[in-house]
């Protein structure tokens, strides 16, 4: 459900070139930050921005309410325009505490410059400031670019909404590009009434000519193999996470079973699993084998830091995780291969790589992901897979 919204209010002004130059250059964020910046409260930030062959600068400052932003666009001739961005109702922009983090107030998504590609995009995220509507997403975003020498917003429309009214914002912020001119949100995995898993994929197609974004739920089957791959990859991760990132749900943390080690010098503490799908380790393993090949399931159980055990006829787990690798980011499908037939599909994956300051440095090989089609169970089984956070 998309949040209630107030669309961006655009206020345009202009000035002589020498005044514009002084205005932008006088902003501290337009200059390099020194060591003192860490002690300086956030005031503004300037982004380099390119629209095909044209270069711009966009300076961002908080508005008077500290919930929205004022953006100043400067072109190569030092002409500038000023815009006010009003958040959706119940939301506010992210304002860093320190000037040292000033570049985090917005995100510039760089265009490739290739023919038919998108120009640079400015993404502004908004976060809930009012929690009265429990159905509202925690964060939403809007996309902007420069068109006709002015900063303009893309308006979002739902392909399934016959009213034709704009949504006001994209109801997700963690979006990425699976293919040119299209963004995608992380697939949403659902546990169905029968315990099976399905994944829904939502995409946002951008049209630079009319500044329009179309939101669409993708068909996730082999008639649409790219998004089928993203859906199956999400299903795989949703199962594997219980053997790597987190344990199955535990509701009662006051009662536990202490299992001493063989040497008696330490103990492990097991908590009862609260998940109606599983009451024994055998049921959990059988469930995993519906989706993964046996060798992958063996590795899942052997390497799980959680560890699952039957105690007094019920399923117990160690509450914990395997640690989160912050140097690894999102996985993207770079290609696919059906092996010359229709029984399997192998997806080639690359994964974002970050440095210690969480700046992206490029990509690493994410391994191959192979789906084999079957006539039983969910209709497929995963025969090759590398967990992204490994």
Provide the token pair at 364.
């690493």
Q: Residue 113 — pLDDT band, cuts 50, 70, 90?
A: low
Examine the fold and report which residue of 123, 156, 172 is the final residue of a domain before the chain moves on.
172
Q: Has residue 205 been placed in a domain? A: no
pLDDT average, residue stretch 95-110 = 93
pLDDT reported for residue 324: 75
Q: Has residue 223 been placed in a domain? A: no
Q: What is the C-alpha to C-alpha distance for residues 183 and 289, in angstroms, rounded to an integer? A: 33
Q: What is the C-alpha to C-alpha distance for residues 195 and 199, in angstroms, rounded to an integer? A: 13
pLDDT reported for residue 274: 96
Q: pTM score, two decimals?
A: 0.83
Q: Has residue 309 been placed in a domain? A: yes
Same domain, 148 and 286: no
Q: Has residue 271 been placed in a domain? A: yes
Tell me 15's DSSP state: -
Total domains in the chain come to: 2
Q: Has residue 342 been placed in a domain? A: no
- Asked if pLDDT for residue 19 goes beyond 80, the answer is no
pLDDT reported for residue 356: 84
Report pLDDT digits (tens) over 130-151: 888 888 999 999 999 999 889 9
Q: Has residue 204 been placed in a domain? A: no
The CA distances from residue 311 to 56, 256, 270, in Å, are 65, 11, 9
Q: What is the C-alpha to C-alpha distance for residues 321 and 237, in angstroms, rounded to an integer? A: 15
Q: Has residue 207 been placed in a domain? A: no
Same domain, 163 and 312: no
Question: Dihedral sign, CA of 37, 38, 39, 40?
Answer: positive
Q: Among all chains, which residue has been given the structure tokens 């640690």?
A: 323
Q: What is the C-alpha to C-alpha distance for residues 242 and 277, in angstroms, rounded to an integer? A: 13
pLDDT reported for residue 320: 75
Tell me 113's DSSP state: -
Q: What is the C-alpha to C-alpha distance for residues 296 and 343, in angstroms, rounded to an integer? A: 19
Same domain, 165 and 269: no
Query: 8-12, 115-119, 358-362: lowest mean pLDDT where?
Result: 8-12
Kindly state the percentage of the chain with pLDDT values over 70.
88
Examine the fold and report which residue of 172, 196, 219 is the final residue of a domain before the chain moves on.
172
pLDDT average, residue stretch 224-247 = 93
Report pLDDT digits (tens) over 20-79: 333 333 444 444 444 544 479 999 999 999 998 899 999 999 999 999 999 999 999 999
Q: Which domain holds residue 132?
A: 1-172
Task: For residue 321, report the phi and psi dihedrals to the nearest 5 degrees.
Answer: -150, 170
Provide the token pair at 90.
């119940």
CA atoms within 13 A on the CB side of 19: 6
Task: For residue 378, report the phi and psi dihedrals to the nearest 5 degrees.
Answer: -75, 0
189 CA to centre of own chain: 14
2 CA to centre of own chain: 17
Q: What is the C-alpha to C-alpha distance for residues 306 and 247, in angstroms, rounded to an integer? A: 6
Q: How big is the chain by its Cα radius of gyration, in Å? A: 25
Report pLDDT digits (tens) over 152-197: 999 999 998 888 899 989 999 999 999 989 999 999 999 998 888 9
């Amino acid at each position: 459900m998309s949040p209630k919204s107030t669309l961006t209010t655009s206020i345009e002004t202009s000035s002589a070139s020498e005044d514009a130059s002084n205005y932008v250059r006088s902003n501290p964020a337009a200059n390099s930050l020194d060591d003192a910046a860490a002690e300086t409260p956030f005031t503004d930030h300037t982004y380099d921005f390119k629209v095909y062959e044209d270069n711009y600068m966009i300076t961002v400052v908080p508005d008077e309410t500290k919930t929205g932003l004022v953006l100043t666009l400067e072109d190569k001739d030092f002409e500038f325009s000023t815009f006010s961005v009003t958040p959706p109702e119940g939301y506010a922009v992210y304002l860093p505490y320190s000037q040292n983090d000033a570049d985090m107030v917005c995100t510039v998504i760089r265009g490739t410059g290739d023919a038919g590609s998108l120009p640079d995009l400015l993404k502004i995220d908004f976060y809930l400031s009012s929690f009265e509507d429990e159905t509202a997403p925690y964060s939403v975003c809007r996309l902007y670019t420069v068109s006709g020498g002015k900063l303009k917003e893309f308006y979002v429309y739902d392909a399934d909404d016959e009213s034709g009214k704009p949504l006001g914002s994209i109801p997700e912020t963690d979006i990425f590009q699976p293919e040119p001119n299209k963004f995608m949100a992380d697939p949403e995995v659902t546990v169905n009434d029968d315990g099976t898993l399905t994944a829904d994929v939502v995409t946002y197609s951008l049209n630079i000519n009319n500044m329009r974004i179309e939101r669409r739920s993708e068909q996730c089957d082999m008639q649409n193999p790219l998004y089928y791959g993203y859906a199956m990859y999400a299903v795989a991760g949703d199962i594997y996470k219980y053997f790597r990132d987190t344990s199955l749900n535990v509701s009662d943390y006051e009662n536990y079973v202490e299992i001493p080690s063989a040497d008696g010098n330490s103990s492990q503490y097991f908590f009862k699993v609260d998940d109606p799908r599983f009451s024994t380790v055998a049921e959990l393993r059988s469930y995993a084998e519906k989706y993964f090949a046996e060798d992958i399931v063996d590795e899942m159980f052997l390497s799980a830091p959680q560890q699952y055990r039957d105690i007094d006829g019920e399923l117990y787990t160690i509450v914990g995780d395997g640690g989160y690798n912050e140097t690894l980011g999102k996985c993207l499908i770079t290609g696919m291969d059906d092996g010359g037939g229709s029984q399997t599909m192998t997806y080639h994956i690359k994964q974002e790589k970050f440095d210690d300051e969480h700046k992206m440095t490029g990509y690493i090989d994410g391994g191959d992901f192979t789906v084999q089609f079957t006539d039983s169970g969910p209709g497929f089984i995963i025969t090759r897979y590398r967990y992204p956070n490994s």
